[in-house]
Structure 1
């Protein structure tokens, strides 16, 4: 495979990166003199660097795991001078270990600036942040990839001590990150939705409690849930939906337990046979 044949969204392995770009096989910034390129790898599976997107700009953390970073250090210098030195900059993102998703060629769009982050030795230090934009955007990231990395970050953060959690909050940015994501929306049969709500007669079909409140139209507020998810090839039919209170609806999505699915299936079949 040649560099010019890469398409946004292609998934490469670490070996592929070496073969295509003739670069090193480790690190988040990989320079190749033979292909006149610099690979920028934003690895979201690792918690050290605080890379973030705000709209269409990636704020990428420079090289250096311990202590203050230098703008004159190795590939920090290459990236800082990339608008003058002629080196082509290519971005890859990692959401799952070993999968390098090609985002395209990027450009440094503003001057690097400094922020404080925690280093590998758990000390507060100054790092360099590089504002980058993709030259030609063709694809957004998959929603499932973003949800996957959010879950991994939550698991890591859950292990922090109270002291470290407060320390990280004090030194974190106050603006939330933003990403454009590619997602699939299912247009549901509204007749099926209405049927499920009427069948429930104002009670959640899982916990069997009354709806938590009435809508402005004085209707019991229940949410219609597909027992076998549409994303898992479930039918959009009256035999595959249940009207749930918001709490049970979230529980079904968060836990996805067979015991609850079985209960709903039995409830639906029983009502249909009455």
Structure 2
């Protein structure tokens, strides 16, 4: 197979990417001088970077796992200069291990910009974000719902393994907006750190009815569900300020009745939580 034969939505193994692009077998940004290409991989089964789609623009985090990232560092520079250096850009996303989904050939949609994220040592640092868009005449693929669910499961497992301090840091310093993807139905990719943080703070007690979780999950933990007080579909943020843990009955009640008094109670609970942490 050649690069020109790749079709958006096609799933490749890592060794196939290496063979087609003549690039290195590891890393998120893989430069190949042989094919004059830069392969960009956004691996959602890893926890470090917060790459995301906003509309038709993919916000891709640059290279550098520790400390502030530099724009003139290795492939960050290659990507930043891609409008003039003639290097072709190819984007892959990973939703399940060793399944690289080809999204299409991309180009810079705008100038790179800086944002704050945690590095691998949980220190807040500056990163470079590269806004990317699919090249003209390339249609975005429809993501199967199962890919989103697989991604969420990976990230939830990672979140559960974090210490309370690590989880708090990840939950606080994260993108506020839930990622909206085009699937067979509209799907939101919720932040696992925010969700796990709300559950740990609830400590097994529903924050609406004040009763213990009705049962434990398969790992023996009290089963509660996270709820966004201001719904994501109404523009609510995916943050610790807008997320709380409820038993299944109360969660269903909020989505069916959405009573003002219940909403105010949940908002008060969150305010009390945040004031106790101040």
TM-score range, shorter chain: 0.5 to 0.7
Classify the secondary structure of the residue corresponding to 1:179: strand
Provide the residue aligned with 2:108 in structure 1.
108
Provide the residue aligned with 1:169 in structure 2.
171
Instruction: Quote the offset at 1:39 in angstroms.
Output: 0.2
Provide the residue aligned with 2:80 in structure 1.
80
Provide the residue aligned with 1:271 in structure 2.
none
Unaligned runs of 5+ in 2: 187-247, 253-278
Instruction: Quote the offset at 1:153 in angstroms.
Output: 1.3
In structure 2, the CA distance between the partners of 1:182 and 1:82, relative to structure 1 (3 Å rule), is farther
* CA–CA distance in structure 2, aligned partners of residues 182 and 87 of structure 1: 34
Residues 1:66 and 2:73 aligned together: no
The aligned length equals: 187
Provide the residue aligned with 1:181 in structure 2.
183
Q: Which has the larger radius of gyration?
A: 1
Classify the secondary structure of the residue corresponding to 2:34: coil
The answer to whether the Cα contact below 8 Å between 2:80 and 2:112 also exists between their aligned partners in 1 is: yes
- How well do the aligned residues superpose, as a CA RMSD in angstroms? 1.8
Provide the residue aligned with 2:142 in structure 1.
140
Classify the secondary structure of the residue corresponding to 1:178: strand
The answer to whether the Cα contact below 8 Å between 2:114 and 2:128 also exists between their aligned partners in 1 is: yes
Provide the residue aligned with 2:157 in structure 1.
155
Provide the residue aligned with 2:37 in structure 1.
37
Show CA shifts across 1:214-271 (max 9, x none). xxxxxxxxxxxxxxxxxxxxxxxxxxxxxxxx85xx9xxxxxxxxxxxxxxxxxxxxx
Unaligned runs of 5+ in 1: 185-245, 251-274
Classify the secondary structure of the residue corresponding to 2:77: helix
Provide the residue aligned with 1:261 in structure 2.
none
The answer to whether the Cα contact below 8 Å between 2:42 and 2:51 also exists between their aligned partners in 1 is: yes
Classify the secondary structure of the residue corresponding to 1:120: coil
Provide the residue aligned with 1:19 in structure 2.
19
Greater CA drift, 111-120 or 31-40: 111-120
The answer to whether the Cα contact below 8 Å between 2:134 and 2:140 also exists between their aligned partners in 1 is: no
In structure 2, the CA distance between the partners of 1:156 and 1:83, relative to structure 1 (3 Å rule), is same
Instruction: Quote the offset at 1:161 in angstroms.
Output: 2.7
Instruction: Quote the offset at 1:176 in angstroms.
Output: 2.1
Provide the residue aligned with 1:3 in structure 2.
3
Classify the secondary structure of the residue corresponding to 2:38: strand
Instruction: Quote the offset at 1:115 in angstroms.
Output: 1.2
* CA–CA distance in structure 1, aligned partners of residues 68 and 42 of structure 2: 20
The answer to whether the Cα contact below 8 Å between 1:56 and 1:179 also exists between their aligned partners in 2 is: no
**TM-score with structure 1 setting the length:** 0.65
Hey, which bits of structure 1, 4+ residues long, moved more than 3 A?
Answer: none
The answer to whether the Cα contact below 8 Å between 1:41 and 1:92 also exists between their aligned partners in 2 is: yes
